[in-house]
Structures are given as structure tokens and as C-alpha cells.
């Protein structure tokens, strides 16, 4: 006999959904991520804060800005066949990736997007003739939408501002994968961020509220008008800090409020530790000290070494290095120079050089270049301007004119040099593209192009040039030749009045009268050549 409680549970509770048939929600954009998390947390008391609200917390903003600014201050070195290249021979792509900004801004924005949004995107703006990337453009992640490609799940559909981008031109790097999008500390640690945001809002509301400095109490029953009159009488004429006399049992007292408790100081200080833990940053860099913990002396070098090993290298430097190295030639890799970040004191550096040079690890010239006394340090190398071929004319999401050719609205592939009204071309990506409609100038240009390229009867030109006569005599020769003919070509008669008509071009050839030129050779008595005299009749 079946258990009655089991039968009751089967009636009241819905059957469990089959795992194989369960649909998996994949967030295409950050708004979708927030909506999914909100639905998942609908039964909780706390709300999920947005990225902008999280960045409004001083500890979180300090952590993100520290990471972004530190990455932006570093320079990339190049290694070819495992050998360090001179600073002047580095590829332009790692010297100035974005031709429109300084290298600092490019790497800073890349690290900022990864720290705050859990991913960064690069658009390969230009390539050389071999297909190697020449320049990159950092794309804000909130402008990107990624969808599953039902035909090929290995090549998802990437949309930048509603324009489908080629997968080969978009580079994505995730902090941690979350379906097709990346997940970072601000997307994963929702509860801790909510505590930080709400406690800060609570403290702001405490100071923004109307909290009185004094409260007056009286044993008499007073209506609102009498209370307002008493307040007005109390506030008039008398200067501050002078004695006053009250009657009818009126007493004054202050509110028993602890400002530190009202501002949730301890909770907000705990949020600083949460921010340090989320981003794997040493607490000393965020001015956080845990009460009751054992104190350990640390100098600046050890603190920054801890920061580089736990936070920068695994989460930011290494992903950027591998992604940009993948865009270089196969024998070249890029690495950040962190020596300036972990720079020891001058005395300690000189002691290291004094040990390394005699051992043959490197020579004195290398030490001088590393210290900046000789050329060769990548941090002191000049940053040249980007090559003209590496500078794109516009972003792919912007509308292109017909001067750039007729391009696919889906994948931006060039389909034809120009297109007019009525043109219908299906791209290889499947997008059906039609020519411009309602643009008279473009329509007129396409019609003129079709007119000039269609077959027309070629004009018949009859030319009877005068013959060239050469007469040789003893001691002289004579040449009769015509002058070059003058050819005048009249342009076709084009009349545009809702119709375009054209006539074959008229060609007129004017043949000049031939001129007679004679040359006389003069010799001396011995028969030697003296000069040649040219005479024109």
C-alpha cells in the first residue's frame, strides 16, 4: 500500500521537469543577465544592484580603477623566436593598438571592461595584405549582443549595434564564462554588492533626512498653531548661547543617536574587505585592515608583488597578452613589462646588477638600458603614430556611402562598386540587399554609370595621312613628313529630363599639310663631317 503522504505530495507538487528537456537560458546581453538574475532572486529580500550602482561604492570603484589604471601604465614587449626584440622593432599593433587613442587609454579601457563587465571585446579595424591585424578598437560590452547560431554553434551570431559582425573581426575574452557572455566579480557577487550599495544609501539618507538638533517637550496640550508660535518666539531676537527662560514645563533635550551606528560604519568597512576579496587585491591597497588579524610587516615591493601575482597577471595581463599575441605572426608573442611595477629600491637594483653582470647573465649595456641610462628600455621608447593603412575611416556600425561601394547590411561585405534603384543582391551570408531608393543623386549616378558602360556604336574615323618621303642624295638626305594630327572628340550629348538620351561621340581629325624638311651635310676638304644643317621649306 502506497504511503498517503507520498500520494498527497504527488497531487500538490508538480512533476519534476526532465533534465534533458530543460531549457537553458543564455544571456545575450547584460540587460538579459540582469533580468535572469532578477527572476532567480524574486523571492529574496535584497535586490541586485546595477554595474553603475556598484561602481558608486568607493571601495569597488577604487578596486576597478586601480586595476584599469595599472594595466594602462604598462608597456608591451615583443619576443620573436623566444628572443627579446629591441624596442624600436616591436610590431605597431602592440605599440599603438588603437590609432585614435594613446596606448594607455586602449589597455586601460580593456582592463576596465573586463573588471566591471566580466569580458572585453576588440574589433580588428584593419588588416594588411597577409591578413595580419594592424589596429584594434575596444568595443563597449554593453553594445554587443551574442546569440546562438542554429547552423553552427561554434560560430555564434555577434551583433554590434544591430549589425552582424564577422566572427573573424571580433575578439572576446571572458573573465569567467557564463553561457555566451563573460561573468566578472560584479556579476557573480550580487549579495555582497547589494550590501555595499544599500548600506551606503542608508548612510546618505541619514544625513539627507530632517533630523532635529534639539527636541522640546512640554506638559501643556498645544495645537499646531500654538507650537508654531512658540517656535517663532523661541527663534526671534535672542542671540545664540544666551540664557533664555521657559515656562509651563518646557524642557529641551538632544536625540540619543550614535552617528557611527546610524551610518552603518562597520558594515561599510566590511564592504571594503569584500571588494578586496572579490578582485583578489591586497587589503592594504584599499586601506582595509581586518580587526583581530595578525599584523605582518610588508614593504611596497612585496605589496605590489602580491597584487601582481594574485590579481593582475592571472585575470588581466595574461588574457590580454595571449589575445594580442594571437593576432601577431606565429613567431612573435607579446608580454607586459612589469619591472617598473615591481621596481625595487636603487640600492637593491644595483646590488642585483653587481651580481648578475659578473655571472654573465647580462652585460653592463643591458643594465644601463634597464635603468634608463641607455636606449633600449621599452618604457622610455617613443610611441609612433599609427600607419595610414591601420586607421579605419569609420566604424562598421555607421552607415556607409555609395562612394565606398555597395555593401551587405548584414556582414558588411562589399558586393559591388555601386548600386542604384532596383538593385537586388543576395550576399553569401544570406542577407538580401536592395539598392538605394528615394535618393535622386545616387540614382542619377547609377543611371549615368549604366549609360556610359553600355554598348554604343563606335564612331567611324577615316584617316588618310600624307605619305612620308625620304630622298637620299650624295652628301645630303631629305625627309617629307606630316605634322602630328590633331584629334578633337566632342562629348556625348546627355539630356536629363526624366529621361536620359545620348548620341555617339563625334570625332573630328584635322590632318595638317605636310611640311618639307631637308638636311644638308657639310664636309671639309678631307671629307670629314663638319656639321648638319636642317632647312624647312
Q: Cα separation of 247 and 216, whole Å? A: 12
Residue 135 is predicted with a pLDDT of 95
The answer to which of 81-85, 155-159, 400-404 has the lowest mean pLDDT is 400-404
Please say if the pLDDT value at position 480 is more than 50.
Answer: yes
The confidence band for 5, taking pLDDT boundaries of 50, 70 and 90, is very low
- The answer for residues whose C-beta is within 8 angstroms of residue 114's C-beta and 6 or more apart is 120, 173, 175, 182, 184, 315, 316, 319
Residue 503 is predicted with a pLDDT of 53
Please say if the pLDDT value at position 277 is more than 70.
Answer: yes
Q: Cα separation of 269 and 220, whole Å? A: 46
The angle subtended at Cα 291 by Cα 285 and Cα 293, nearest 5°, is 85
- pLDDT tens-digit profile of 415-442? 887 776 667 888 887 777 776 544 344 3
CB 467 within 8 A of CB 513: no
Which bin fits 405, alpha (ψ -120 to 50), beta or left (φ > 0)? Answer: left
- The answer for residues whose C-beta is within 8 angstroms of residue 176's C-beta and 6 or more apart is 118, 182, 183, 184, 188
Percentage of the chain lying above the pLDDT 90 cut? 33
State the burial class of residue 301 (Cβ atoms within 10 Å of its Cβ: 0-12, 13-18, 19+): middle
Residue 454 is predicted with a pLDDT of 46
The confidence band for 168, taking pLDDT boundaries of 50, 70 and 90, is very high
CB 279 within 8 A of CB 311: yes
Residue 142 is predicted with a pLDDT of 94
Residue 30 is predicted with a pLDDT of 53
The answer to which of 125-134, 267-276, 463-472 has the lowest mean pLDDT is 463-472
Q: In terms of Cα–Cα distance, which of 65, 88, 138, 145 is closest to 324? A: 138
Q: Cα separation of 99 and 390, whole Å? A: 7
The answer to which of 59-73, 295-309, 471-485 has the lowest mean pLDDT is 471-485
State the burial class of residue 312 (Cβ atoms within 10 Å of its Cβ: 0-12, 13-18, 19+): buried
Percentage of the chain lying above the pLDDT 70 cut? 65
Average pLDDT, integer, range 481-489: 53
CB 119 within 8 A of CB 175: yes
Q: In terms of Cα–Cα distance, which of 151, 98, 101, 70 is closest to 336? A: 70
- pLDDT tens-digit profile of 28-77? 565 555 555 544 454 566 788 899 999 999 999 999 999 999 999 999 99
Please say if the pLDDT value at position 460 is more than 60.
Answer: no
Q: In terms of Cα–Cα distance, which of 451, 460, 466, 459 is closest to 511? A: 466
C-alpha cell recorded at residue 147 = 546569440
Residue 108 is predicted with a pLDDT of 97
CA distances from 529 to 74, 520, 522, 526 (A): 80, 11, 6, 9
- The DSSP bridge partners found for residue 508 are 488
The confidence band for 455, taking pLDDT boundaries of 50, 70 and 90, is very low
Residue 512 is predicted with a pLDDT of 60
CB 36 within 8 A of CB 25: yes
- pLDDT tens-digit profile of 97-146? 999 999 999 999 999 999 999 999 999 999 998 889 999 999 999 999 99
Q: Report helix, strand or coil for 495.
A: strand
DSSP letter for 342, please: T
The confidence band for 400, taking pLDDT boundaries of 50, 70 and 90, is low
Which residue shows C-alpha cell 671629307? 527
Residue 344 is predicted with a pLDDT of 79
Please say if the pLDDT value at position 293 is more than 70.
Answer: no
The confidence band for 16, taking pLDDT boundaries of 50, 70 and 90, is very low
CB 86 within 8 A of CB 302: no
CB 470 within 8 A of CB 479: yes
More confident residue, 522 or 490: 522
Residue 159 is predicted with a pLDDT of 94
Q: Report helix, strand or coil for 289.
A: coil
More confident residue, 341 or 526: 341
- pLDDT tens-digit profile of 78-109? 999 999 999 889 999 999 999 999 999 999 99
Q: Cα separation of 490 and 231, whole Å? A: 100
Q: Report helix, strand or coil for 508.
A: strand
Average pLDDT, integer, range 458-486: 50
The answer to which of 282-296, 349-363, 499-513 has the lowest mean pLDDT is 499-513
Q: Report helix, strand or coil for 529.
A: strand
Average pLDDT, integer, range 454-467: 47
Residue 223 is predicted with a pLDDT of 81
Please say if the pLDDT value at position 164 is more than 80.
Answer: yes
Crossing angle of helices 190-208 and 58-72, rounded to 10° = 120
Amino acid at each position: 500500500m502506497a504511503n498517503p503522504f507520498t500520494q498527497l505530495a504527488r497531487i500538490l507538487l508538480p512533476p519534476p521537469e526532465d533534465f534533458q528537456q530543460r531549457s537553458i537560458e543564455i544571456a545575450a546581453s547584460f540587460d538579459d543577465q540582469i533580468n535572469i538574475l532578477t527572476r532567480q532572486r524574486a523571492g529574496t529580500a535584497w535586490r541586485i544592484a546595477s554595474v553603475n550602482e556598484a561602481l558608486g561604492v568607493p571601495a569597488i570603484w577604487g578596486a576597478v580603477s586601480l586595476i584599469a589604471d595599472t594595466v594602462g601604465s604598462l608597456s608591451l614587449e615583443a619576443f620573436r623566436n623566444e628572443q627579446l626584440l629591441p624596442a624600436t622593432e616591436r610590431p605597431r599593433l602592440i605599440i599603438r593598438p588603437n590609432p585614435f587613442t594613446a596606448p594607455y587609454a586602449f589597455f586601460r579601457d580593456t582592463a576596465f571592461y573586463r573588471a566591471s563587465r566580466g569580458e572585453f571585446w576588440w574589433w580588428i579595424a584593419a588588416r594588411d595584405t597577409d591578413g595580419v591585424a594592424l589596429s584594434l578598437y575596444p568595443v563597449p560590452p554593453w553594445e554587443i549582443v551574442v546569440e546562438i547560431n542554429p547552423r553552427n554553434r561554434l560560430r555564434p551570431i555577434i551583433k554590434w549595434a544591430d549589425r552582424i559582425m564577422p566572427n573573424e573581426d571580433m575578439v572576446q575574452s571572458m573573465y569567467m564564462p557564463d553561457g555566451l557572455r563573460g561573468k566578472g566579480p560584479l556579476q557573480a557577487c550580487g549579495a555582497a554588492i547589494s550590501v555595499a550599495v544599500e548600506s551606503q544609501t542608508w548612510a546618505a539618507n541619514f544625513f539627507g533626512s530632517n533630523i532635529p538638533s534639539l527636541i522640546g517637550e512640554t506638559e501643556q496640550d498645544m495645537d499646531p498653531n500654538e507650537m508654531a508660535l512658540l517656535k517663532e518666539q523661541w527663534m526671534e531676537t535672542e542671540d545664540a548661547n544666551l540664557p533664555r527662560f521657559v515656562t509651563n514645563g518646557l524642557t529641551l533635550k538632544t536625540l540619543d543617536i550614535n552617528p557611527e551606528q546610524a551610518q552603518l560604519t562597520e558594515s561599510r568597512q566590511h564592504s571594503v574587505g569584500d571588494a578586496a576579496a572579490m578582485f583578489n587585491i591586497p587589503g592594504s591597497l584599499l586601506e582595509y585592515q581586518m580587526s583581530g588579524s595578525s599584523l605582518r610587516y610588508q614593504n611596497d615591493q612585496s605589496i605590489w608583488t602580491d597584487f601582481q601575482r594574485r590579481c593582475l597577471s592571472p585575470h588581466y595581463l595574461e588574457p590580454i597578452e595571449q589575445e594580442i599575441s594571437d593576432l601577431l605572426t606565429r613567431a612573435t608573442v607579446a608580454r607586459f613589462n612589469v619591472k617598473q611595477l615591481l621596481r625595487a629600491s636603487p640600492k637593491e637594483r644595483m646590488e642585483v646588477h653587481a651580481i648578475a653582470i659578473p655571472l654573465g647573465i647580462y652585460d653592463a649595456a643591458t643594465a644601463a638600458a634597464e635603468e634608463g641610462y641607455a636606449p633600449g628600455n621599452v618604457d622610455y621608447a617613443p610611441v609612433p603614430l599609427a600607419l595610414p593603412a591601420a586607421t579605419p575611416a569609420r566604424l562598421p556600425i555607421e552607415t556607409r556611402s555609395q562612394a565606398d561601394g555597395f555593401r551587405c547590411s548584414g556582414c558588411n561585405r562589399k558586393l559591388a562598386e555601386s548600386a542604384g534603384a532596383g538593385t537586388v543582391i543576395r550576399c553569401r551570408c544570406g542577407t538580401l540587399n536592395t539598392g538605394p531608393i528615394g535618393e535622386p543623386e545616387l540614382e542619377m549616378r547609377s543611371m549615368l554609370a549604366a549609360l556610359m558602360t553600355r554598348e554604343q556604336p563606335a564612331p567611324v574615323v577615316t584617316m588618310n595621312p600624307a605619305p612620308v618621303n625620304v630622298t637620299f642624295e650624295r652628301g645630303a638626305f631629305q625627309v617629307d613628313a606630316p605634322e602630328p594630327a590633331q584629334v578633337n572628340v566632342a562629348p556625348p550629348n546627355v539630356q536629363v529630363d526624366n529621361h536620359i538620351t545620348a548620341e555617339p561621340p563625334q570625332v573630328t581629325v584635322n590632318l595638317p599639310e605636310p611640311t618639307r624638311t631637308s638636311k644638308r651635310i657639310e664636309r671639309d676638304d678631307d671629307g670629314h663631317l663638319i656639321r648638319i644643317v636642317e632647312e624647312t621649306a
